[in-house]
């Protein structure tokens, strides 16, 4: 069993070396899918929403993996690959003021506008009600959803700033460039569960 795992790891590292962008995108997609599967179970959903999982994997594959790949390369070019404490601190500050807010905001909007549109079959009645609304209401609804996310966004971002700077410091200081997206994706596994649970709680109707 140990030899199989070792061979699998060697093959993965070989793919990471020869096809870094593709490997990081697939890794981010797989971890996003696992993260959402766990969050659905923790949310008490009786049956896994497979389409929702696939949409989360799409977000990881199309955005998180590639974005992380290029942002770390860019940061290393800006700071010429230096790893002294002062340079690492600058990298962390720049990352937390740019990519971190962007990632969280895009995820929350994507969840509301794309993922939650993917309704399970037992919401057919809800779709019928929605389709019966007039065109003006339907045109306003997506923007209302986005505004709901924006209201919640500052709380999520402030929470992110309580621990992601530490993750960023460790990542830039100790992790080689080719592994930074992987390390970040592993930490984001837990962060994704948090965001999923937060988004899910916002989607549930409040009790009066």
pLDDT in tens, the chain (208 residues): 568 888 999 999 999 999 999 999 999 999 999 988 888 888 777 888 899 899 999 999 999 999 999 999 999 999 988 889 999 999 999 999 999 999 988 888 887 777 766 545 443 343 343 344 344 434 445 556 666 667 788 888 998 899 899 999 999 999 999 999 999 999 988 876 776 666 666 665 554 4
18 HSE (CA, 13 A, CB side)? 5
- Quick check: 191 and 160 in contact, CB under 8 A? yes
Which of 61, 75, 79, 108 lies closest to 180 in space, CA to CA? 75
Exposed / middle / buried, residue 18 (Cβ in 10 Å: 0-12, 13-18, 19+): exposed
Distance CA 182, CA 153 (A): 25
Report how far residue 49's alpha carbon sits from residue 115's, in angstroms, rounded to the nearest whole number. 10
pTM of the predicted protein model: 0.77
- What integer pLDDT is reported at residue 1 of this predicted model? 57
How much is the pLDDT for 196? 62
Distance CA 141, CA 181 (A): 35
């Amino acid at each position: 069993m140990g030899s199989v795992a070792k061979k699998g790891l060697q093959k993965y590292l070989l793919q990471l070396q020869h096809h870094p962008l593709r490997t990081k995108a697939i890794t981010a997609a797989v971890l996003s899918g696992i993260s959402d599967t766990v969050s659905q179970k923790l949310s008490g959903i009786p049956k896994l929403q497979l389409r929702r999982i696939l949409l989360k994997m799409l977000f990881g594959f199309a955005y998180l993996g590639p974005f992380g790949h290029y942002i770390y390369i860019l940061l290393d070019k800006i700071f010429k690959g230096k790893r002294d404490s002062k340079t690492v601190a600058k990298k962390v500050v720049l990352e937390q003021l740019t990519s971190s807010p962007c990632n969280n905001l895009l995820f929350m909007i994507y969840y509301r506008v794309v993922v939650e549109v993917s309704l399970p079959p037992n919401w057919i009645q809800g779709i019928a009600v929605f389709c019966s609304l007039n065109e003006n209401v339907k045109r306003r609804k997506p923007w209302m959803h986005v505004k709901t996310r924006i209201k919640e966004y500052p709380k999520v971002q402030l929470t992110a700033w309580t621990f992601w700077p530490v993750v960023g410091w460790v990542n830039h200081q100790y992790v080689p460039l080719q592994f930074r997206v992987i390390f970040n994706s592993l930490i984001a596994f837990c962060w994704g569960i948090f965001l999923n649970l937060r988004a899910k709680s916002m989607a549930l109707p409040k009790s009066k």
